[in-house]
Amino acid sequence: MTMEEAIHSVRGADRGALEQALSHWDRVAKPLNSLGVLEEDIVRIAGASGSHHISIDKKAIVVMCADNGIVEEGVTQTGQEVTAIVAGNMGKGCSCVCLMAEKAGAKVIPVDVGMNCCGEIPGVIPEKVSMGTKNFLREPAMSREQTVMAMEAGIRIAEGLKSRGYNLAGSGEMGIGNTTTSSAVLSVLLDQDPGQVTGRGAGLTAEGYKRKIRVIKDGIALHRPDREDPVDVLSKVGGLDLAALAGFYIGCGAVGLPVVIDGLITGAAALAAVGICPPVKDYLLASHISAEPAGAMVLKALGLKPAIQAGMCLGEGTGAAALFPLLDMAAVVYDRMSSFEEIHVEQYEHLK
């Protein structure tokens, strides 16, 4: 699907499935709403998948990998070469998210949409648009055409998951410098001063942190990205990983695949996706509140409730990996727990 085709294919949540799932939870023999956000997530999965019969037995975490030219400005502790190293470890199944996903029964699928390296990396899906982005303090990060190309790569990945029978997706990213690009995107989309949405990322000195905020402010002032046009925002101050994630979320909406976002960076991409195609919001689940300053802000803007608050900020899709076992537990209660009728106990009622 092209981006336009995918956008036009996205429908809101199936209201019938939502209502049936809510009604089913009310009949489960336990106090009402006692699993909190996990119950709400199961209902969201029903609405996204179009059925109150929940199946989340086949899960994958898609990790979009790309490099960012803005690292030239000293906004990171490490160099771009780390992106390919970590992606290679994902391909071999030995990165943080892979180890967590193995315990959660999920497959990790790393995708190269723009790493600054030559040749294919074993175990990493090649979807390279360019060898990283430009330095957005000097010129736009990428062209609009490149942004759309990255988004359509994400859509293809979503289509592939659906065709292979996956029924729950997670999402993550790997790209040195992408806390800078995501903070820039969020500054525009949330209409917030960069100082309010920018954190230290993987670790910066006080001076490095000030420089990071200044770089974001100056880049936004130079390019004046249009808040009403998220594709413009992504192309001017974003990254290929963010664009691919935004396309992935739109693609998940188009094929009816519920998808878990991770932290700040995936949240920025999700906010862009929802700005482009509002019904996509119905297909998103939040895993945790990122420890980054804008973590809570982006979830509030998306209208999502996280199930986990653990001070996480690792990225890679580790939030999705952490949430998957909790969703499995909620799903088994939803599916196998006796009803009030079956145990001959009067059903709880919602009190006003």
Residues 6+ apart with CB under 8 A from 48: 13, 14, 256, 257, 258, 282, 283
**Cβ(98)–Cβ(146) under 8 Å?**
no
Q: Length of the chain in residues, anyone?
A: 352
**Cβ(173)–Cβ(63) under 8 Å?**
yes
Active site residue 139: no
Place of tokens 């009067």: 346
Q: 3-state class of 126 per DSSP?
A: strand
349: tokens are 């009622």
Query: What is the C-alpha separation between 109 and 300, in angstroms, rounded?
Result: 28
Catalytic residue among 72, 316, 341, 349: 316
Residues 6+ apart with CB under 8 A from 65: 83, 84, 86, 87, 90, 110, 111, 112, 113, 114, 115, 124, 173, 174, 175, 241
Residues 6+ apart with CB under 8 A from 279: 10, 11, 12, 253
Query: What is the C-alpha separation between 164 and 314, in angstroms, rounded?
Result: 28
Query: What is the C-alpha separation between 54 and 336, in angstroms, rounded?
Result: 11
Phi, psi of 149 (to 5 degrees): -60, -45
**Cβ(331)–Cβ(338) under 8 Å?**
no
Q: Which residues are catalytic?
A: 316
